[in-house]
Structure 1
Amino acid sequence: MTKKKPDVFSVVAAFICVFGIAFISLGKDLTLGIGDSLSLLCALLFAFHISSTGFYSQKVDTTVLSVTQMWFATILSLIGTFFTETLPSSVPLNGMLAVVYIGVFGTMVAFFIQTTAQKYTTPTKTAILLSTEALFGTIFSVIILKEVITLKMIIGGISIFLAIITAETKWSFLYKRKAKIVKSNL
């Protein structure tokens, strides 16, 4: 969209991140099931969303962009509901409150914060930071659900963390340290 190529660190970070998410998400035999395939499709569409949000957050007011996103999400969700869900005859009050809470805080506020923040960073960094969802989901599954930590979880978590470090720092702290050592030897 911006006709700017990502730098080599961003590309490497993206591959490391995908590797980490695959380790955390895929089954023991590392094969794709229907759910994994749908998640991959969702990830591709989400990448497009992040790229377009990054592009348009530089061009228009982020509040207007967020409200536009919410209207589209609402309309498309309602349309999708008619094709995939059976509408209940009645909804209890706590069910309605849960939907409103998720709609306001889990969607509206979250998208507004993301859209505003993307004005100050690159889409690549945004995508890698948002990919920590898989990492935190794994961490909370161990803490809350008492799931057993596996080698796959550890490798996936370390990979996502390395991807974040690669995208955010471009390993510049290694160059600075090396320059200090060379300078002190002179």
Structure 2
Amino acid sequence: MNTKSFKADILLLITAIIWGAAFVAQRVGMDYMGPLTFNAVRFALGAAALIPLIQRIDSEKKKDGTYREVDKGSFIKGSLIAGGALFLGATFQQWGLVYTTAGNAGFITGLYVVFVPIMGLFFKQKTGLPTWIGAVLAVIGMYLLSVNEGFHIEMGDLLVLICAVFFAGHVVVISLLSSKIDPVKFAAGQFVVCSVFSFIGAFSFETMTFAGIWAGIVPILYGGLMSVGVAYTLQVVAQQEAKPAHAAIILSLESVFAALAGWLLLGEILTTQGLIGCGLMLSGMLLSQIKS
């Protein structure tokens, strides 16, 4: 492994750790405010955190003569579509975290890496045998993790499962549009759209108070600046050297770090059945990244 690849792997691992710990921040944030309020503020912070990076990239491109003006039509359309998918995924995830643990949410959200190649079938993208085997393992693991006696799935886990479907759709949308739009500006645009939709929802269905936001300022800052701003930047930098499938495998470890963070910081405990389920889900996630 060369030095650049090693550095990329380290950055991706740090990204996975930040994202895993973010599930704890998101869980704690629900003690002070509603899901839509939390997402509205954190995605606004995430968009703001990308402004310095955008300015630096534009400055460097202007110096070396590679700067190109953004196609406003494609940018607005892409931001609305991706931001809408992100809004739905983030909303169901945050809503689910009101009723489930950070560990469960981390593993179930990670199922998007299995859903993405399956969704690709609708766009005539081939899906190999490892993906189908991975999907079966992930479903069995989800059953062991979330279903109790009497075949009853917990409401929070079901909401996070729905979020994983929307996040998979979000990944597919980005793969179709990102080649046409500057990736960092595209990210900031979708964060703004997600924040605006969340603010509209929060004003309509929740009681937003400055006192509640201030009381949960620590999880909001972590969720906005670290999870959205810093982690996304590290991912962009790392994936300049790491192959997509390789990067996806490392990033899928966020589910493991979510469980560890939930155990260390919130005292969450997984049963033996739950641990086996998590192991099967993680195996399914990894298998889904292997090409036939």
State TM-score, norm by structure 2: 0.46
2:259 is the alignment partner of 1:121: no
Residue 134 to residue 167, structure 1, CA distance change in 2 (3 Å): same
Kindly report the root-mean-square deviation, in angstroms, between the aligned alpha carbons of the 2 structures: 3.5
Amino acid at match of 1:7: G
Percent identity of paired positions between Structure 1 and Structure 2: 26
How big is the shift at 1:159? 0.8
> In the alignment, what sits opposite 2:181?
60
2:272 is the alignment partner of 1:157: no
2:164 is the alignment partner of 1:34: no
Residue 146 to residue 89, structure 1, CA distance change in 2 (3 Å): closer
Amino acid at match of 1:67: A
Larger-Rg structure: 1
> In the alignment, what sits opposite 1:16?
137
Residue pair 1:129, 1:164 contacting (<8 A) in 2 also: no
Amino acid at match of 2:244: T
How big is the shift at 1:97? 5.7
C-alpha distance in structure 2 between counterparts of 1:134 and 1:29, whole Å: 27
Residue pair 1:24, 1:138 contacting (<8 A) in 2 also: no
Residue 49 to residue 107, structure 1, CA distance change in 2 (3 Å): same
How big is the shift at 1:141? 3.7
1:102-117 equivalence runs, <5 A: 102-113=223-234, 117=239
> In the alignment, what sits opposite 1:184?
none
Residue 121 to residue 131, structure 1, CA distance change in 2 (3 Å): closer
Amino acid at match of 1:27: N
How big is the shift at 1:161? 3.3
> In the alignment, what sits opposite 1:177?
none
C-alpha distance in structure 1 between counterparts of 2:182 and 2:170, whole Å: 17
Write out per-residue CA displacement over residues 51-72 of structure 1, whole angstroms, 9 at most, x where no aligned residue: 1123333443211221112111
Write out per-residue CA displacement over residues 4-50 of structure 1, whole angstroms, 9 at most, x where no aligned residue: 12222123213322332342234354422433332222121111012
Which of these residues, 146, 168, 186, is aligned with residue 47 of structure 1?
168
C-alpha distance in structure 2 between counterparts of 1:134 and 1:100, whole Å: 21
- Unaligned runs of 5+ residues in structure 2 are 1-119
2:179 is the alignment partner of 1:79: no
C-alpha distance in structure 1 between counterparts of 2:154 and 2:211, whole Å: 35
C-alpha distance in structure 1 between counterparts of 2:158 and 2:270, whole Å: 25
Residue 5 to residue 59, structure 1, CA distance change in 2 (3 Å): farther
Residue pair 2:145, 2:277 contacting (<8 A) in 1 also: yes
Residue pair 1:25, 1:134 contacting (<8 A) in 2 also: no
C-alpha distance in structure 2 between counterparts of 1:44 and 1:92, whole Å: 29
Residue 56 to residue 16, structure 1, CA distance change in 2 (3 Å): farther
- Unaligned runs of 5+ residues in structure 1 are 173-186
Amino acid at match of 1:80: G
Which of these residues, 128, 134, 155, is aligned with residue 7 of structure 1?
128
